[in-house]
C-alpha cells in the first residue's frame, strides 16, 4: 500500500529532526567548525545528499538549532503577549528558563561554546537582536514598576545571574537540585529589584 502525504510529511519531519539532533550532539562535542556535513550525515545514518536535501548548509542547521533553543526560553516570557511583564510572568520565566536549561544541557553547552567564538557571536546576536531588545525593554519596565532605583543595572545583574546559573547547570548538573536553584534564584531576583 503506498504511503499517504501525511506519512511522507511525518517521515520528512523525523529525518529533519534526526539531522538536527545529530548535528547538535556533534557541534556540542567537537565544535561547529570541526564538524563537517559528512560527519553529521554519517552519524545520523543518512546520505550526505539527503542531509543537503533538508539543509542547504551546516550554517543553516546551526541557525535552526539556535532558533529552537532561543524559542524554548523566550516562549515562557510575556505569556499573554500583551507587551507587559507581570510578577507571575517574570517568576514563571525565571523558573522555566532554569528548567529548560537543565533539560537541554547539550544545546546550552553548544550555545556557550558558540558565543565564545567571535565570528559566530555576531551572527547570533544579529539574528536575535530585535527579539532581545523587546524582551530587555519589557524586563526593564517590569523592574522599574517594582520600584527599582536602577532598572538597567538590575537587569544586567539578573541577566548575569541567569548566565552564571546556566554555566553551573551545564558544567555541574548535579551540584544543586534544580528546584532549589529555581527557588533561590527567583527569591534573589525579587530581593534585588524590590530594594
d(CA 35, CA 17): 18
| C-alpha dihedral sign at 165, 169, 174, 179 | positive
Report which of residues 66 and 43 the model is more confident about: 43
C-alpha cell at 2: 503506498
Report which of residues 89 and 119 the model is more confident about: 89
Q: Mean pLDDT over all residues of the chain?
A: 84
One domain for residues 73 and 51: no
One domain for residues 95 and 112: yes
One domain for residues 66 and 30: no
Residue range of the domain that includes 43: 1-55
| pLDDT exceeds cutoff 80 at 129 | no
**Domain harbouring 26, CATH code:** 1.10.10.60
**Domain harbouring 157, CATH code:** 1.10.357
One domain for residues 17 and 69: no
Amino acid at each position: 500500500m503506498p504511503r499517504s502525504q501525511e506519512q511522507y510529511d511525518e517521515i520528512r519531519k523525523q529525518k529533519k529532526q534526526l539531522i538536527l539532533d545529530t548535528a547538535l550532539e556533534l557541534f556540542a562535542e567537537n565544535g561547529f567548525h570541526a564538524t563537517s556535513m559528512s560527519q553529521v550525515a554519517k552519524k545520523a545514518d543518512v546520505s550526505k545528499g539527503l542531509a543537503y536535501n533538508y539543509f542547504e548548509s551546516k550554517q543553516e542547521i546551526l541557525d535552526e538549532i539556535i532558533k529552537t533553543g532561543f524559542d524554548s526560553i523566550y516562549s515562557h516570557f510575556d505569556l499573554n503577549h500583551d507587551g507587559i511583564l507581570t510578577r507571575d510572568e517574570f517568576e514563571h520565566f525565571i523558573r522555566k528558563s532554569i528548567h529548560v536549561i537543565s533539560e537541554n544541557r547539550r544545546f546550552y553547552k553548544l550555545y556557550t561554546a558558540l558565543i565564545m567564538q567571535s565570528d559566530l557571536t555576531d551572527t547570533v546576536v544579529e539574528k536575535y537582536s530585535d527579539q532581545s531588545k523587546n524582551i530587555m525593554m519589557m524586563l526593564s519596565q517590569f523592574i522599574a514598576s517594582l520600584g527599582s532605583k536602577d532598572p538597567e543595572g538590575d537587569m544586567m545583574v539578573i541577566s548575569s545571574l541567569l548566565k552564571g546559573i546556566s554555566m553551573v547547570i551545564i558544567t555541574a548538573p548535579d551540584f544543586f537540585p534544580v528546584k532549589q536553584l529555581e527557588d533561590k534564584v527567583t527569591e534573589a531576583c525579587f530581593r534585588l529589584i524590590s530594594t
